[in-house]
Amino acid sequence: MATVTVRRRELDFWEKTYVKEVGRGLAITFRQLTKNLLTREDVATREYPEVRRKYPERFRGRHRLMRREDGTVRCVACMLCSTACPANCIHIVAGEHDDDRVEKYPVSFEIDLLVCIYCGFCEEACPCDAIRMDSGKHPLPSFTRDMQRIRKHQLLEEGGLSVAEQGGRSK
Amino acid sequence: MPTLKIDGREVTVERGTTILDAARKVGIDIPTFCYHPGLTKPANCRMCLVDTNKAPKPTPACYAECMDDMEVSTQSPEIVKTRKAVLEFILLNHPVDCPICDQAGECVLQDHYFKYSATPSRLAHKKVHKPKVKRLGPDVVLDAERCILCTRCIRFCDEVAKETQLEIVNRGEHSEITTFPGKQLDNPYAGNTVDICPVGALTSVDFRFRTRVWMLQSSDGVCPECSRGCKTRTDVFENVPRRTKPLHNPRVNDWWMCDEGRLAYRDYQALPRMEGPAAQVEGKRRVVTNVEAIEAAALELGAVAQRQKIGVVATPWFTNEDAWLVAELLRGPLAGARIYLGGRADGTADEILRMADKNPNRAGVEAIFEAAGLKAAPLSALDTAGLEALLVFGDQHALDEAGLEKLERVPRRVVVSAFQTPLWKMATTFLPARTHFEKVGTFTNFEGMVQRLEQAVNAAASCKSYGYYAMKLAELMGHTISFVRPEDVFAEVARTVPGFAGMTWQGLAPYGMKLGEGVAPAEPPTLPQAAPPAAPTEA
């Protein structure tokens, strides 16, 4: 392949001092400064955390576990989410429920948010509408790694009511 | 010898062969539920219906015998439709709770549904509800809704376990498996009903909800709980055995195993493992490295000049390879030592599978020791008078307080074992061993059937097999034997022990070989022994 060499135009002495360009830049800065002092409209920066950005509706945020009408967790510990999880961050221990129509429930349900890649496969795999990522919140910073392993009770705190037909339970 | 055509393929079979067997012989798969090769055939599920030119209506292939000039069709449009109808009928009241069903992933109904039906239910009414959690016995739970009434479990109890405990009550869609009044499903083989249940109706209390089956990794093994040596499969999740299932071996256990052996894996998790190799450092026992512990053991044994003052306790829990390497140690550097063969005390036996000898490899160890010219006394005849050093292999010995005291009186005690037992406590030098889940090798059962054992779980780095320690001790005591893989040791066993002659590692798959059955090469190999290849696994 032939090489084409394009020679740049040499800068003259006046241009090499950059006085003109610096002046142009400062002009923009001062124009914006004056504008921001006079009006609050059209400000690019936000005063986080008081002012927050609105996330799109389908934003995948921190997980939550939904509840049934009677307040119990909808999850039946089928482990399809942890099976679907490409990062292997969901750890469930199943136990036997007293109500034999429910049979199985998660004794512990942990998600390691440091490992999670927020792909949303878990909520797609869930046959019970139990796990959702629509909390609209992103993971919080923490002092220890262990604090990023969110437990069942934390997941349930965010969780709301879901009346979707429970998967696996016959009518 | 009838000759028939199945889907246009001609096959000649023995008189009395069923259409199903004939079809499987030529590689045609006919779906079944109630048929099990180890049980009688009730032909009640109707899944195996095929068209023949000998009957006006579809015929159950599992039951009907082959006839001359028979033409069987397993794929005709009528049969495809019939199968769909049968599946729709079986699934009519089935709860389809696959996500929480333990059988999901290994469920015959699930597989057949996706393969042969895959149409949604047309039922407009409510499904019939039955008990979801019904305890049938100590280890078996019934979900009556999932049951397809194939009666495999009933037939198993009647025909194999020889204890009639299950029956069907009620009629039609209200039919339900239950135990006879006042009885429980508590025969010593009850766990097999869970294995043969084609759906998730019977689940094991032990395994229920523990793990999803698709997360398990399986490896073939041999049950070490008695001298029968049933062929088994160990299912492992996160390096922990989760369940043991029997595998088909027509020469040992058919399709079955006893509950004792099935649930024994739990004991190995419950027992505390050792902290690491230990040896005397400045008069106190400390945890040391593996190499240091082996050296300390060699020094302790080497300090006794007269070999007859060394006592060795061998164990029938050796694999054949372990036994051969230990025999090398006892024949070479420790020649003249007093040898005892320990092991667990006898237990219950029955006519079906369970043997009184609760050790896996007594026959193999005895054969190998005999070939090496070693004489081992039983541990009950233990006499430690005059002994100056002890080398104890294994942790499952029938030793009472008096026996332990006798051992403790010996000044130098080298113990090789997997668990923290009284023996571990009194050891002056301790070498951590592997359990049968952690090693590769072969076991010889009471009839002389040699079967292969695969490694199911990874062992801690400091745990080595008995044979490895024997090899290293022999090396430090001036008798170099060097093997890397158990296969190489087995080749040596086959070369030097008469009963094993002609056996090969590959030849042991899938059902094993009987002692004396191997065909010895016409001429003994004259080539010099090749250097063992440097494979990553250790002997």
B522 Cβ contact list (under 8 Å, min separation 6): none
Q: How far apart are CA B253 and CA B232, in angstroms?
A: 10
Question: What is the helix (H) or strand (E) element at residue B390, kind and residue range?
Answer: strand B389-393
Nearest to B99 among A96, A168, A170 (CB): A168
Q: Are residues B393 and B249 in the same domain?
A: no
Q: Are residues B459 and B507 in the same domain?
A: yes
Q: Give the best residue of B209, B215, B237, B240 to mutate against chain A (max A CB count within 10 A).
A: B209
Say whether B98 and A79 touch across the interface (CB within 8 A): no
Nearest to B212 among A79, A95, A169 (CB): A79
Let me know if domain A64-158 sits in CATH 3.30.70.3290: no
CA distances from B283 to B280, B301, B428, B429 (A): 6, 17, 10, 12
Q: Are residues B352 and B411 in the same domain?
A: yes
The parent domain of residue B62 ranges over 3-90
Nearest CA in chain B to A126: B99
CATH number at residue B63: 3.10.20.740
* Ranges A11-25, A126-140, B121-135, B517-531: which has the least confidence: B517-531
Q: Does any domain span residue B11?
A: yes
Q: Does any domain span residue B453?
A: yes
Q: What is the mean pLDDT of residues A119-140?
A: 90
Nearest to B209 among A95, A167, A168 (CB): A95
User: How many structural domains is chain B composed of?
Assistant: 3
Would you state the pLDDT for residue A1? 73
Q: Does A73 touch chain B (CB under 8 A)?
A: no
DSSP per residue, B190-202: THHHHHH-SSSSE
Say whether B131 and A100 touch across the interface (CB within 8 A): yes
Would you state the pLDDT for residue B268? 86
Does the pLDDT value for residue A171 go beyond 50? no
pLDDT above 70 covers a percentage of chain A that reads 96
Would you state the pLDDT for residue B524? 47
Q: Does any domain span residue B80?
A: yes
3-state helix, strand, coil in chain B (%, to 5): 30, 20, 50
CATH number at residue B446: 3.40.50.740
Does the pLDDT value for residue A92 go beyond 50? yes
Residue A96 to chain B, least CA–CA distance (Å): 8
Q: Domain limits of chain A?
A: 11-45, 64-158
Q: Does any domain span residue B412?
A: yes
Q: How far apart are CA B143 and CA B135, in angstroms?
A: 9
The residue out of B239, B268, B297 marking a domain boundary is B268
* B interface residues, A as partner, C-beta within 8 Å: 95-100, 126-127, 129, 131-133, 145, 208-210, 212, 214-215
Does pTM surpass 0.90?
A: no
Would you state the pLDDT for residue B305? 84
Q: Where residue A53 falls among pLDDT bands split at 50, 70, 90?
A: confident
Low pLDDT (below 50) residues in chain B: 523-539
Does the pLDDT value for residue A84 go beyond 80? yes
Q: Does any domain span residue B119?
A: no
Nearest to B214 among A83, A101, A103 (CB): A83
Look up residue B102 and give its amino acid: D
Say whether B100 and A80 touch across the interface (CB within 8 A): no
Q: Does any domain span residue B212?
A: yes
Q: Give the best residue of A129, A169, A170, A171 to mutate against chain B (max B CB count within 10 A).
A: A170
Would you state the pLDDT for residue B521? 52
The alpha carbon of A115 is separated from its chain's Cα centroid by a whole number of angstroms, namely 13
